[in-house]
Structures are given as C-alpha cells and as structure tokens.
Amino acid sequence: MKPNLSTTICGVPLKNPLIAASGTCGFGREFAQFYPLETWGGLSLKGTTLHPREGNANPRIAETPLGMLNSVGLQNPGIDAFLRDELPHLAQIDIARIANVAGDTVEDMAAVVAKLRGTAIDLIELNISCPNVKAGGMAFGIVPESVEATTRAVKAACEQPLIVKLSPNVADIAENARAAERGGADALSLINTLTGMAIDPVARTPILARVTGGLSGPAIKPVALRMVYEAAKAVSIPLIGMGGIMTGRDVVEFLLAGASAVMVGTASIADPMAGPRILAELESFLAEQGVADLRELVGALQV
C-alpha cells in the first residue's frame, strides 16, 4: 500500500512534507525547467525585502567538504516586483507558497508582510537568521528578547500564518524557539546556515568577498537534528526541519526528531533532480518500514 505523505502546516495542506528551501529555487522558475514544480509540497521563495537588493559582491559561493558556504546578501527584486512579476505564475500552481520575508528594520519586515495580505501566499517565513547582511538578518535572531519582539511586531501586520526561521548561531536554540512562540509565531523553521569561512592558502585571502558566509549541506545535518530535537521539546507549535537533507532517510530522521515537514536546499544545488529523488526515496522507505502515514513518525524518536 502507498503510504500517505500528505500533511498540514498551520492548516495549510502539503501534498508531501518536502518544501524547497528559500534561496535555493529563486521564485520557482529554475526548477520548472527540470520537472513540474508541483512535485514539491511547498516552495519557500527567495528572501524578499521592501526594496530591491543587489546582494553582496562576488565571490559569494564556496564549496566546502560536505557542503557549501553562501554569502548572497539577500539579493532580490523587492516585494513590489515579486507581486507583479513572480506571484501570478506561482498562483496557478498546486503547491504551498511560502514567502520568505527579510528586512533591515522591523518596520520594513512588517511593511512587506502587510503587502502580502490578500495574496496567493499561503504562509510567511520570517527570516531573522540571514548571516550575510550588515543590518537586519541574523541581528534580530540571536538574543531571545529580540526574537520575541521582532516576531510580535511582524505578526501584528501578518494575515497568513507566520513561520519564524531560527538561526543556529545562538547559545540555546530552545530558548529562542520559546521566544518566537511567545512572540506569536505559528510555526518555526530551523536551522538557517551556520556562520563559517573559507581561505585560499596560496592567495592568503578569504574566498568569499564578504569574508564569512553561511554553511549548509550534509556537514551541518547532525547540528540541525540536535536543534530540531531540542526545539521540539521546548514549544508546542509545529516545526519545519532543515539542514543537509540529501536522502529520503534524512527526511525520516528530521520527522523523528520532531519536524512536521522539512526543507531541502543544498541538495538541489548539487543535483537539480534531488527533490523528486528524495520524494521517491521517502515513499519507498516508508513502504518498506510499513509506515502507513508519515505523521506517525513526527516526534516518534525513542530515547
């Protein structure tokens, strides 16, 4: 029998638990040339700000053992261009549409979510964890008091359910998860990237123009699993887990740790067909294990 892969996040249906992670699929057009976008349960779109941003200087990507560093700097066309040029094609697709919202100030982020009211966006992911910008980004997401206040202010302007994307570059992920929940978050996504750097030993320079960047990929999976597990014990809102998911079995590990759905990012950069492959692997693994419904696995880790 085919296992049931469908689930919901804050009442929004997902036909399967795989969501393309923000920043790895632009606004969806990149994947659409390889396979139907509807393959994914959801799409978290590139971090969008009130005004267009050009992003950081190049080089802004570096390969690392078992992962990659990025320092994109939230390059995006701004919310008005997104609404005009990107959302209409996404609105035709059977997929959960998640807007990833970032900003230099809390007021900017609130203004962006206000512009998303009444649109085809189903969920909003508040990015208070980007390590690659001078103002905003991770600066809002480190200290629990700031996580709570930022979440509360943005939530007040928000019509759709609000997912807060947490940074792993913190002392205690459980404390920050609780802070976001107190601020009114409807769900959490974690983890964003870990701050890292790469060095060219011949040139004696950093490889990234901005010196540091965010590390993603399988190298961070054990950290991500630990943080999802700790956050799941700390809050009662749903979690979306991410960090180095490359296979169907990885998805199951995140579900067992307490995630209700997962985001897949770096895997698609290494292999554009990773999304459909991981989905097929997940389905076979559940069938082999006799799991009729993937929701049975959420938080089912036996410790």
> Under the rule (CB under 6 A), what is the footprint of ligand SIN?
23, 47, 70-74, 127, 129-130, 132, 192-193, 214
Q: Which of 10, 25, 130, 158 is catalytic?
A: 130
With respect to ligand SIN, which residue has the nearer C-beta, 7 or 44? 44
CB of 76 to ligand SIN, least distance (A): 8
With respect to ligand SIN, which residue has the nearer C-beta, 98 or 279? 98
Rounded-to-integer distance, Cα 41 and Cα 98, Å: 11
With respect to ligand SIN, which residue has the nearer C-beta, 211 or 287? 211
130 is catalytic: yes
CB of 73 to ligand SIN, least distance (A): 5
CB of 303 to ligand SIN, least distance (A): 31
With respect to ligand SIN, which residue has the nearer C-beta, 7 or 151? 151
The secondary structure of the chain, three-state, reads CCCECCEEECCEEECCCEEECCCCCCCCHHHHCCCCHHHCCEEECCCECCCCECCCCCCCEEEECCEEEECCCCCECCHHHHHHHHHHHHCCCCCEEEEEECCCCHHHHHHHHHHCCCCCCCEEEEECCCCCCCCCHHHHCCCHHHHHHHHHHHHHCCCCCEEEECCCCCCCHHHHHHHHHHCCCCEEEECCCEEEECEECCCCEECCCCCEEEEECHHHHHHHHHHHHHHHHHCCCCEEEECCCCCHHHHHHHHHHCCCEEEECHHHHHCCCHHHHHHHHHHHHHHHHCCCEHHHHCCCCCC
With respect to ligand SIN, which residue has the nearer C-beta, 39 or 48? 48
CB of 123 to ligand SIN, least distance (A): 16
The separation between CA 288 and the C-alpha centre of its own chain, rounded to angstroms, equals 29
CB of 288 to ligand SIN, least distance (A): 35
The residues annotated as belonging to the active site are 130
